[in-house]
Structure 1
């Protein structure tokens, strides 16, 4: 029975990923609202950048004057008609810096009668670093490491990143001016705030610098940031109106969760499973333990955060799956829990997440592991590997945050 339940959960995860197919979303968007203009400059950035660019090139053809794709290594491959750059994620690297400079160079060629088509997906914040004056790439990378380790959510992190970048927080619009900008956006952010997705290159910033400084200080992170980063955040705001943009949302986590519901008839338990991973696990376990008899098939969507206390490997989805297994210890009723990133990568690991059941803790112990010690060390990847419970998909070519699937008999 457990094998069939695990197979069902895995198949529904594939449904969620397929619903966020970036190429299909781009084709539909361009068919429904064609982009007018004789000369189009194409910039695609994010984990879904290559697929999005490929679809756009097919539709727009010879009108594309130049095309740049910036994505992570797992999703990178040559694309006819485009220059593909590989950049680091989740911590920015030199490849991303070179990509950002290439993007700025191409945008400088766009004229008043041209259109810049920006294809934006999750991951763009790290993949396209363009540090402001006085801030080095290593400064930005260290700031990212500090914020990630502190368990900051994506909105808070990107509110900082926007003020350290020439491209984020509407910077792409300035670089593209006087050309008109159309952006097709695949959201990896719960609630689909366009200012947060890839740190909002085609929209205004999330918060002014004074609010960002106060937020960092309240979290005890201000003094841990590099001096150059603090100096950049202390600069006075420049009152400058942003050029306009035609921003279009073409895919989201909610659409993927809805696809699983349509496919299976299951129910949505939580469409915004966010916040601390331990608290999210406790809430899920409480609900799983409380449901009455009969089959249960339920879904969640969201993006939790992990505060690092150890030096193990893992990610929010793997830790969530392990914590649910721990919380369900002793429950005799058959159950399966899957938590996975739709991009196919969870944290700095090769796994998309984890899929656990009532036998997970026993399998870890039988393989010589101590699940409590591994969890305390933030080593969920090792724990789930011992159990054979890692969710392995490889790069999916899309990114609409995370989904969770609960199956109970």
Structure 2
């Protein structure tokens, strides 16, 4: 049987944004996800200012990241069961209180153990807006050909926040007050999170009803493909964390700390531009192969970061690394739609987001120690090691990324489907 692909135009962003009800969750969702990109850099800059150590600052930021990685999937599971609003409202209030406590302790030169203690609820309560928005798209679009476009759009939105967030946090911390970045993060979380939670009409159905009521609720992590993707996304987290610390250290080394936000924004801009392009392409190769190719490119790009010795060169290499991240992120999130039943998708998305946070936390810690002892160039080795290990995992376990069950299909382009096979 032939599976010849006839040229078709992928449904575009314009068609996606005309989806009924989309703007009611997109606008508050955009506001509410800004803090996600500000938290780590905000903690890093504040604690580094009060302690004078990137290693210590990285460890506190990492504690927050690990906490988020561990608790985010549980929040996703609760959102699938009880609804997003029921999880968001108390979570937002706890997060604002925890960030406020962390700021007060850092400025009071509290013992390190106290900063770690405050970092745990700070990370655990980070609102998982991105996964919740993706779950709303999945509920709206189902198996529509618009789903890959929605995944690309969400990646672009995420990366735009990583352009705006770090620049805003760095500008506030260096130009206003070392705590200003975290203060803004808490304020945006409060306003954006509660506004998003108020959009009840578009939240996905929750709980188990009808045919699903008699079925036991299985964790999204029981799906082998989700476990593989989570491990792979640790590598993406290592890029985010390693770049944040190492770019900050590099800016300090050259005596221009303000350039840090511009450099990280350039890196994130590459990610955003690649995401826009990915959403406009009607792919003719399967998602499994796209994922591996994305990680190959990311590993190669990260392999030369350590050698950069100028702002221009580092900016160009950061842009290249950013261009390679988006295809991997978008494809991973797109695969979830075919691997995981609708009743567990919010949880699945939070496992991936949590994996990025965990990888970021580990990278911030290791890169911070390396930057303290050997300079920023050593810190740039962290993204290389993280992406190389993720690529090795994907190459070894790629067969688990194929949807299980006879007769299941995977999308290879718009408007047609073929039996699931390993690329």
Establish whether TM, by shorter chain, passes 0.5.
no
- Structure with the bigger RCO (C-alpha within 8 Å, sep 6+) is 2
Structure holding more strand per residue = 1
Q: State the TM-score, normalizing by the size of structure 2.
A: 0.27
Q: State the TM-score, normalizing by the size of structure 1.
A: 0.27
Structure holding more helix per residue = 2
Bigger radius of gyration: 1
